[in-house]
Structure 1
Amino acid sequence: MLDVEVGAVAHGGHCVARHEGRVVFVRHALPGERVHAVVTEDHGGSFCRADAVTVLRAAPGRVEPACPWAGPGGCGGCDFQHADHDTQRALKATVVAEQLQHLAGITWTGECEALPGGPLGWRTRLRMAVTDDGRPGLRAHRSHEVLPVGDCPIAVRDALDPVLAREWTPTAEIEIVSDAAGETHATELLEGGRRLEVGSGTAHEHAAGRDWTLPAAAFWQVHPAAADAVVAAAVEGVGELGPDDVVWDLYGGAGLIAAALADRAGLVVDVESDPEATSAAGGNLADLPAARVVRGRVEKVLESLVRSDGSPDVIVADPPRKGLGRELAGRIGALGARRIVHVACDPAALARDVAALAGAGYRLAGLRVFDAFPMTHHMECVAIPERSGAEPVR
């Protein structure tokens, strides 16, 4: 048990404290608090991890968690249920600013924007684990222990009912999707593969003024309002397009952003490696003559795209959580697009990519951050690296 003064928030859902010369990453605390914290993980070295179990001096933004499993020793899904929503968003903005300053040398003073609907009842996609006796549950933080929860207050209403009402294969995992039509799809993930157990397996969504059909397992934004917010920010960041402009939508998934740009450009190429997502993109974009779908890994197809279509005028990239990486960011920057729209859910990965693109002559001309994952430490960012000399973002 440690008695510590809690310092600044850090990337990952915890705050930083110090005790006898060592860093302590404290969960369930807020900056400025004094707490008793129980060490939960210590491998020696310069830091350890701890949970705040007693608050001796509370910060103004502290509230009672909405879920009884959200406290010390409980579910690892939520990081900030002990903070009110404004405080959560302020913490996330601080993390983005710190990562940009530390990793890219950029000063950013923006905010983390709230999405409609409040901090509860928003999660449309989640993964549950199964206990040894077949009950679905959620894992404890940084643990394989499965907690047999009876509900999840951040999940959309009624989404878990058909999952919690039945037994599952012990030690399996369950991938759950609740689509815009209100249908729940639940797939059991086993060592031998996937098995659909609940729902049709085909998700129906609505975003950016269009209806979408895609496999339930294909990527889609988790928050019901996030798809519209990201598309709007991406379109704003792309700026003016003309009939001769070529746009690449890298990691384009089912074609969400490509569709929003296809009536404004000469050609929009959706590049995606997942076969189910590319199949869905082909169907969803079939009515848009300017849209083309290319299946393949982004790093493998860049040269062939240049040979077939020339260098792009604008690039949209929505890579996995790890980001583009220095090498791929450098290759993309060398293509000379006047503007890049970078969608990211990890601020550290985003900052590293922005720094790599700066080396190719790009400056950060705009950034919007959305609280697309309330109660957690995650957020969705849309950054606009712009080539020096390009027209300003409108």
Structure 2
Amino acid sequence: MSPGGSGLSVGDEVEVEVTAFAHGGHCVARHDGQVLFVRHTLPGERVLARVTEVGSGSRFVRADAVEVRHASDDRVVQPCPWSGPGACGGCDLQHVSLDAQRRLKAGVVREQMARLAHLEVDVEVEPVPGDDRGLRWRTRVEFAVDGAGNAGLRRHRSHEVVPVDRCRIATDAVTALEVTGRDWPGAEAVDAVAPSGGPAVAVEVPGEEVPEVLERVSTSWRSAHGPVSFAREFAVSARGFWQVHPGAAATFLAAAMEPLAVRPGERVLDLYCGVGLFASALSEAVGPGGQVVAVEADRDAVERATRDLSSLGNVAVVAGRVDDLFGVPRTDRHRGRSRSRRPARSPLLPQSADVVVLDPPRTGAGTAVVRAVAATGPRAVAYVACDPAALARDTAAFLAAGYRLASLRAFDAFPMTHHVECVAHFVPAGA
């Protein structure tokens, strides 16, 4: 028996009917009234599920589908032998056809928007150029290293290292580094990076100074004044943030910029700006009479953005957390207690903005930041989101602040996984 009395314990195997695909890469099933979150299965299947974890108070049970007794028509033979129950945890959907993966992800976006923002949206998940049917697309892979110096990938929800031969979703350049075929004594991890602007590198962690790599972005979109072409190089730390799909940066930039229709002379806020991908394009769009204020908390990214954008003349890079700079209270954990920090609003942020672009971390911007963004009175907001639940929560905050969702696009920037990237646009409700 499990501690909470659900009747299921780790290691138990039960036959279940799978009903739905849920946010997080698992499907939902029930056994004697108990909800199971089951990986490696599909809606409509009947599987033998092995319990891998029982939540506190038996609020949930996690399980793996170890045998398929009735298969979905969307099931395929997984291209990677290391994907499956008890193996590498990096890919959730290797057993699903690529078209079905995108349908499932679109369903998650719709469900999260309906549940958390109370909006019915019609969205499809679009492919991103630069992968081979969902494989050989990942340009950055962090390999874990075990105590013996062997590199591999971690099991799902575990620190245990699976000694894979290679990663099937990694680019050929990453594979050519042969990280898993070498010994890494003393290392905790190895980052394999194949940038668009130079040779691939393997970075040992911990190790010596992290090298710099170049990423090239070339894309186009249509503005209010006609077609726009954009091309630029960005210097990024090999361990810094950059989109891992080779076509993602260009795709997201065009998807964000086109509906904004940025005008010359406007003032723009670029929040969570990283090394300045959006800020660079916004700088060109507003021209010498406009202004871009780019905000970033990561010290390395701030240094690079400041160096690379200083020559543009109309971009100011501000270092700091977005919530702190807006003067938004936040709660930190300190010695087991909550304490509220109430910073003053930074004078470096303008009181008003014509356009706002934000690309927050997976947790989202949060209601208080959304309110602060809305208070600047932008005529248009572009929100780039890597988590549909966080986007839906922040969408609800925008609606409450007097904005409406004008458009929403979703992209399959992480094939074979449950992750999906969205680009949303908001405008004042009366616009």
The two structures have a TM-score, normalised by structure 2, of: 0.85
Give the 5 Å matches for 1:35-184.
35-43=47-55, 44-116=57-129, 117=131, 118-162=133-177, 163-170=179-186, 172-184=188-200
For 1:21, the equivalent position in structure 2 comes to 33
Deviation at 1:238, TM superposition (A): 1.4
CA distance in 1, matches of 2:160, 2:422: 32
Q: Deviations over 1:274-303 (max 9, x none)?
A: 121112212332342222211121122236
Contact 1:251-1:298 within 8 A present in 2 as well: yes
- C-alpha distance 28-296 of structure 1, shift in aligned 2 (>3 A): same
Tell me whether 1:371 sits opposite 2:412 in the alignment: yes
What is the aligned counterpart of 1:294 among 318, 327, 336? 318
Deviation at 1:122, TM superposition (A): 0.5
Aligned identity (percent) is 49
Contact 2:40-2:84 within 8 A present in 1 as well: yes
CA distance in 1, matches of 2:205, 2:348: 40
CA distance in 2, matches of 1:50, 1:307: 50
Tell me whether 1:3 sits opposite 2:15 in the alignment: yes
Tell me whether 1:283 sits opposite 2:307 in the alignment: yes
Deviation at 1:154, TM superposition (A): 0.2
Question: Partner amino acid for 1:217?
Answer: R
For 1:313, the equivalent position in structure 2 comes to 354
Question: Partner amino acid for 1:361?
Answer: G
Question: Partner amino acid for 1:2?
Answer: V
For 1:333, the equivalent position in structure 2 comes to 374
Contact 1:28-1:79 within 8 A present in 2 as well: yes
Contact 1:137-1:147 within 8 A present in 2 as well: yes
Contact 1:131-1:170 within 8 A present in 2 as well: no
Tell me whether 1:343 sits opposite 2:384 in the alignment: yes
Ranges in structure 2 where 5+ consecutive residues have no aligned partner = 1-12, 219-230, 328-344
Contact 2:293-2:349 within 8 A present in 1 as well: no
Q: Give secondary structure in 2 for the equivalent of 1:271.
A: strand
Contact 1:13-1:27 within 8 A present in 2 as well: yes
82-91 or 47-56: bigger deviation = 47-56
Give the 5 Å matches for 1:236-275.
236-243=258-265, 245-265=266-286, 266-275=290-299
CA distance in 2, matches of 1:308, 1:75: 44
171-180 or 52-61: bigger deviation = 171-180
Question: Partner amino acid for 1:258?
Answer: A
CA root-mean-square deviation: 1.7
CA distance in 2, matches of 1:144, 1:358: 40
Deviation at 1:126, TM superposition (A): 2.0
Deviation at 1:260, TM superposition (A): 1.1
Deviation at 1:171, TM superposition (A): 6.6
343-352 or 380-389: bigger deviation = 380-389
CA distance in 2, matches of 1:320, 1:240: 24
Contact 2:262-2:282 within 8 A present in 1 as well: no
Deviation at 1:233, TM superposition (A): 0.7
Ranges in structure 1 where 5+ consecutive residues have no aligned partner = none
For 2:338, the equivalent position in structure 1 comes to none
Q: Give secondary structure in 1 for the equivalent of 2:249.
A: helix
Q: Give secondary structure in 2 for the equivalent of 1:159.
A: helix
What is the aligned counterpart of 1:207 among 217, 220, 225? 217
Deviation at 1:4, TM superposition (A): 0.9
CA distance in 1, matches of 2:176, 2:262: 46
For 1:362, the equivalent position in structure 2 comes to 403
Deviation at 1:2, TM superposition (A): 1.1
Deviation at 1:85, TM superposition (A): 0.6
CA distance in 1, matches of 2:415, 2:348: 43
278-287 or 61-70: bigger deviation = 278-287
Contact 2:326-2:369 within 8 A present in 1 as well: no
Q: Deviations over 1:238-297 (max 9, x none)?
A: 124231x10010000111011111122111111111121112212332342222211121
CA distance in 2, matches of 1:139, 1:50: 17
Q: Give secondary structure in 2 for the equivalent of 1:211.
A: strand
CA distance in 1, matches of 2:54, 2:392: 29
For 1:232, the equivalent position in structure 2 comes to 254
For 1:34, the equivalent position in structure 2 comes to 46
CA distance in 1, matches of 2:354, 2:60: 46
